[in-house]
Structure 1
Amino acid sequence: MLLPRWQETHARFRDRPALFDGDDVVSFDDLARALEGIPVATAPVIASGSALDIALATLRGWRDHQPVLPLEKPGAIELDSASIPEGIAHLKLTPGSDGQPRTVRFTADQIAADADRLVAAMGLRPEVPNLATISLSHSYGYSSIILPMLLHGIPLQNVEVPFPAVVVEAWRKHARVVVPAVPSMWRAWQRSGILADAPIELAISAGAPLPLELEETVWNEHGLKLHNFYGASECGGISWDASEKPRTHAGDLGEPLPGVSVETDDESRFVIRSNAVALGYDRLRSGETLGDGEFLTPDCGHFENGRLTLDSRAGGHINVAGRKVGAGRIESILRETGGLTRVRVFGVPSHDPDRVDEVAALIPVGTQVSATRTAAATQLAGWEMPRHWIPAENEAWWSLSRQDLRQRFTG
């Protein structure tokens, strides 16, 4: 199903740009020709690296009937090919609170349904490229940028780093652009002044709560509306704020996307139903619901005037500027360095609201962390590394839950 969709895209947009990267322009036909020279895959395909690398790895998986797993850092998980059921076309990696990351499993129809829904709801079109400032290996970037390119012919403009000067140079190449980003990026761009007269047709913010103050400031200074977008790895897009004026409530998640049904259970948790809900996890934990078109989120909220309102967020991950960090996985990596006899990893609120959380590590008193940091850096991305190393001055701290540690060391 995915390969024929790509072949339709290729036939329709053959000579048109698929990917802009600096002064290089890669056409859809260039992608097809490059794919011909790639060996046949006999195991799940890891999609990582540059935008071009991820696009070609994706096409390789589709061509060779292998699941595609986008990863920001290769080696984050070892896949057992034999354990993946037939019919799985796509995998997403989610943080593991128990130290073991999990994969979410999708059929071809499910992963395509998410991209199709976003393209239709947001009015994305081939004449206006997506600016690729976010990670293309994460669910948000993959479904918003990579899949629309391969399934709908919507080109992407690569951005090496989301620094203001680099972003300006990228969007100057186009009359109009669509910009999916996270709040911390919008904050940095607003402070730098580059949003004045920016050629942005649609500004999207997801991955972390969008502060009302930031949304209002961007609107008042530049007349640019930031559209709050809410989704989850397990089901793709859930809702978005399509209105043309700033919201008045920070918890306003907008209206459910077409084809997405949202209800609340007895604990006010969102129950999502759509054709983009994943087939399931590789390991289901007690109390979880995922499969048969239904996903029970850890987030709680309610409906207000037909719009979804977030009351509280839950879950075992740490949100660092829109990137989900698994505390258990970081603990495992830190222990494997041999430099720590004990460690507990948890999140604490950042003083920068756009960053949301920062990673903290409880460690034994007297521990020297420099060698541990160096050893762990081979497996942890910079944003996963603890910013706070807290000596356990009280033995009772080790028995606290992550939530209790968060409360204990907040402020």
Structure 2
Amino acid sequence: MLYFRWLETCRLHASRPAVYDGAEVVTFGELAKRVEARPHSGSRVIARSGGVGFFVDLISGWRDGSMVIPIEKDAPEPKLNSDPPAETCLVKYTPGASGIPRGIFFNDAQLIADGDRLVREMGLSVEVPNLAVISLAHSYGFSNIVLPLILHGVPVVLAPVPFPRVVEEICANHAALAVPSVPSIWRAWHRAKILKSLPIRLAVSAGAPLSLDLEAQVYETSGIKIRNFYGTSECGAISFDRSELPRVDASDVGRVMAGVSVSIGRDGRLQVQSDAVAIGYDESRRDDLLGAGCYLTRDVGFVDEREILQLVGTVGGAINVAGRKVSPAKVEAALMATGLVRRARVFGIPSADRERNEEISALVEMNDGERLERLKSSLSERLETWELPRHWRAGAELWALGLAELRDAFRFPSA
């Protein structure tokens, strides 16, 4: 069904721009030709983000009935812990809220339900391209940018980096743009004082909590209302802020979307029912509930009398760094793989920059004669920049502390 929806999109919009990639503008018709010229895919396709080729890999894989796994351009190929169900067309490979990477299986009906819901609820249009400053390989970017292009013909403008000057230059070539982004990027643009001049028709924020201060400051200085969006990798879109004025409650993540039902499940965790819920994981865990249209999140909250979802906490183990989920276990494994430490413990502490949410901290016990500088250098060759710890300690006395005490020790080190 996904490929047939793509063919219908191409029929309706063949001569219209599909992807703006620097100086290159690829129409839907041209993109369709590149897809058809691609040799038949195997049973598994790795689609690496970073350019027009990402879309070609993705769509040609669906044309051939392949299972597609979107990943970052330089990321290692993921290893799944089980074979996917026969109807699987997409695997989201993500650490999620648990902090340990695993694959999430989707069929085409689930992806179509998510993409259609987002376009309808956010009012996305073929006349207003999506500016891609977030990763298209991650669930947020995939749902908000990739699916609207394939299912509805919403063009995509690729930004190589979200730096203010680069974004200004890109925006100068467009009359209107929709921008799904994360709080740390919105704050950088606000500090650079470029927002008032940008042709932003729709501003969306997700991936990390959006502070009331930032939302209010952006509105006051530029007139742009940043709209909170909440979803998960496992079930796609859940809620969206449709209000025209800045929020007054930081826990407000918008009204629950049509076709989505949210209730309180075990341990106070939010339980979501919708037609976009995934088939399941490549490796299930004891406290999982995913499948048959139902997903038990790791977030805690409630739906108030106005149908507004209030998000008040999480029971997850991932570290949320400026909208990216970082697995502590992955960083610990990379530290041990250097051969320079006897043991390592990785965790998050609150960031002084609220739009970053958390910062990665590492407690290590070095091997005799090894230096922390060498460890940092070696680790930088094994992890992405955003996965590297910002705070380091090597004190032997800290290993006896519990996690809460350890976090305090990193946040408030003694003189």
When the two structures are superposed, what TM-score results if normalisation uses the length of structure 2?
0.94
- What one-letter code is carried by the residue in structure 1 that aligns with 2:337? E
Find the counterpart in structure 1 of residue 382 from structure 2: 379
Find the counterpart in structure 1 of residue 346 from structure 2: 345
Quick one: distance in 1 between partners of 2:145 and 2:124? 10
Q: Where in structure 2 are the equivalents of 1:205-220 lying within 5 Å?
A: 205-220=205-220
**Displacement after TM superposition at 1:76 (Å):** 5.1
Q: Where in structure 2 are the equivalents of 1:195-214 lying within 5 Å?
A: 195-214=195-214
Structure 1 residues 193 and 251: CA distance shift in structure 2, 3 A: same
Q: Is the 8 A contact 2:99 2:325 kept in 1?
A: no
- What one-letter code is carried by the residue in structure 2 that aligns with 1:264? I
**Displacement after TM superposition at 1:395 (Å):** 6.2
Q: Is the 8 A contact 1:43 1:66 kept in 2?
A: yes
- What one-letter code is carried by the residue in structure 1 that aligns with 2:225? K
Quick one: distance in 1 between partners of 2:410 and 2:377? 25
Structure 1 residues 47 and 404: CA distance shift in structure 2, 3 A: farther
Helix, strand or coil at the partner of 2:239 = strand
**Displacement after TM superposition at 1:99 (Å):** 8.1
Structure 1: gaps (5+ residues):
none
Q: Which among 363, 372, 383 is matched to residue 369 of structure 1?
A: 372
Quick one: distance in 1 between partners of 2:163 and 2:317? 30
Quick one: distance in 1 between partners of 2:139 and 2:96? 16
Quick one: distance in 2 between partners of 1:344 and 1:396? 9
Q: Is the 8 A contact 2:49 2:70 kept in 1?
A: no
**Displacement after TM superposition at 1:198 (Å):** 2.1
- What one-letter code is carried by the residue in structure 2 that aligns with 1:394? E
Deviation per CA, 1:145-180, whole angstroms, max 9, x where unpaired? 111111110001111110111111111111111010
Find the counterpart in structure 2 of residue 108 from structure 1: 108
Structure 2: gaps (5+ residues):
none
- What one-letter code is carried by the residue in structure 2 that aligns with 1:374? S
- What one-letter code is carried by the residue in structure 1 that aligns with 2:282? D
Q: Which among 394, 397, 412 is matched to residue 394 of structure 1?
A: 397
Deviation per CA, 1:283-328, whole angstroms, max 9, x where unpaired? 1111121111111111111222321111112201000100001111
Structure 1 residues 64 and 369: CA distance shift in structure 2, 3 A: farther
**Displacement after TM superposition at 1:272 (Å):** 0.5
When the two structures are superposed, what TM-score results if normalisation uses the length of structure 1?
0.95
Q: Where in structure 2 are the equivalents of 1:82-121 lying within 5 Å?
A: 83-95=83-95, 101-121=101-121
Quick one: distance in 2 between partners of 1:404 and 1:294? 36
- What one-letter code is carried by the residue in structure 2 that aligns with 1:330? V
Structure 1 residues 34 and 117: CA distance shift in structure 2, 3 A: same
- What one-letter code is carried by the residue in structure 1 that aligns with 2:220? N
Structure 1 residues 361 and 76: CA distance shift in structure 2, 3 A: farther
Find the counterpart in structure 2 of residue 22 from structure 1: 22
Q: Is the 8 A contact 1:68 1:91 kept in 2?
A: yes
Deviation per CA, 1:215-260, whole angstroms, max 9, x where unpaired? 0011111111000001111111110111111110000011111111
Quick one: distance in 1 between partners of 2:123 and 2:332? 42
Deviation per CA, 1:22-47, whole angstroms, max 9, x where unpaired? 22101111111112232222132111
Structure 1 residues 303 and 49: CA distance shift in structure 2, 3 A: closer
Find the counterpart in structure 1 of residue 139 from structure 2: 139
Deviation per CA, 1:7-36, whole angstroms, max 9, x where unpaired? 111111111100112221011111111122
Helix, strand or coil at the partner of 1:364 = strand
Q: Is the 8 A contact 1:229 1:240 kept in 2?
A: yes
Deviation per CA, 1:183-214, whole angstroms, max 9, x where unpaired? 01111111111111321110001110000000
- What one-letter code is carried by the residue in structure 1 that aligns with 2:196? A
- What one-letter code is carried by the residue in structure 2 that aligns with 1:281? Y
**Displacement after TM superposition at 1:53 (Å):** 2.3
Helix, strand or coil at the partner of 1:243 = coil
Q: Where in structure 2 are the equivalents of 1:154-233 lying within 5 Å?
A: 154-233=154-233
Structure 1 residues 45 and 286: CA distance shift in structure 2, 3 A: same
Q: Is the 8 A contact 1:129 1:156 kept in 2?
A: yes
